[in-house]
Structure 1
Amino acid sequence: MARRTVFAASDDKTRAAMQCVNLIFSEDGLKAVSSDGSRIMSAKGETKGGGAVSMMIPARSLALLAGMCAEEDVFSVGTTGKSIVYMKESFLFSARMIDGVYINTDALFSACQPLFTVLTDGEELYRALDSVTALGDGGSTVELHFEPGAIELSCSSDTGTARGRLEVIPLTGTPGGTYYYTAHKLKECLRAMGGTMRLNVAQNGVLLLGTEQVSCLNVAKRAPSSVRTEHAVSSGKSKPRAA
């Protein structure tokens, strides 16, 4: 769960809550949630529930714990004052809990009503995205153009433009439209998910990715200035000239 969420936490030191992973214990089991303001990662854990507890743990602490254990390790979890303690045989790890209220990510997911949904393979989508962004830098923008049965990906940089195409299976609605996302953030989400996933596009290009265990929300970016300028010219729009 930590590996699927810690990377999406904010690094903004003025927003302590957003630097955390929100651990939610409920009757449905354990869930971990993180967000940096432009994306949300939500991962399911142990399905045995009990009680209703929500706590915020610094993402750096969980990343450290994840680096010291294997995916299959099972811990007993408890709290001592303002700390959460992970325990197993011959191992104990403690992390401080942060006071505050985390954003209601369930409400944000529920508010996004898909315009259309397609079925795709997360690993294939990641490889296609990794290929077209190879020439870009850390802040590159990737363009996703949806068609019935396919996604066309492209990414431009000073050295050129790379394009790719991935076939998908339409499920609901009519796939269509062009949307833009921060390439490295979307790649991190896909790398953490993998497997067969439902890809939904909601109003304003909000991208929703979901598998049985992990859900992801990515906010779309504005089109690059070069694309907006090209669209304005093709539409016959231009700035008025000074007298």
Structure 2
Amino acid sequence: MKVLGRSLVVAGGATGKVFVLDARTGRTTATLDTEPGQTPAFLNDVAVAGRRTAYVTDSQRPILWKVDLGSRGRAASITPFLDFTGTAFAYQTGFNANGIVAAKGGRVLLVVQSNTGKVFRVDTRTKEVSQVDLGGTALTNGDGLVLAGRTLLVIRNQQELVVPVRLSKDLRRGAVGTGVTSPALKYPTTGALVGGRLLLVNSQFDKRNSGAAPELPFDVAALDLRRGR
């Protein structure tokens, strides 16, 4: 989920829906349905790319969705922005498009493919899709993405690592750095940068998947990137 203006845009996972909430009151102002029918869907992550525009990844269907919050009486809407079929971004079995961030004023989107560990660059004007050259490194189980200047932070959930990728100016290449971890990480899935600290949501999905009891209460971990811990 991401804050967009006065709204909170929430990807609804397997529901195939995006929920728009008033960020101050928590009231749901719109429910946007991608109508998956019998086709498996998983709306996963959100990137803000303008005053009233956001993009949403779908880990099951090869579609990148565009959310328009509307204005001057126009209702919020969601439409297919890009079909990845036939592009460099080839969907495979498992979780595909996951974390997403916007760069260059919303003109470029970066998306991680969890099951292959590849990162893709999407030009929102031309809809060109290209794989970011990471020098052969695969960031498998890449989940949330955080962009700090030209450094892309890739949150690898199962490995409990945050991996920095220093991107080229055109965002077509990246040098993968050493991952940072902490005992406080518990299957982190997404994060937000606040000052020099990266706040990470501890999902404990590994406990859910194995049937083990989670550690309560659920929490948010903090990594001080300036100190590497």
TM-score, normalised relative to structure 2: 0.25
Structure 1 or 2: more strand by fraction: 2
Larger radius of gyration: 1
TM-score, normalised relative to structure 1: 0.24
Structure 1 or 2: more helix by fraction: 1
Instruction: Compare relative contact order (CA 8 Å, sep 6+) and give the higher one, 1 or 2.
Output: 1
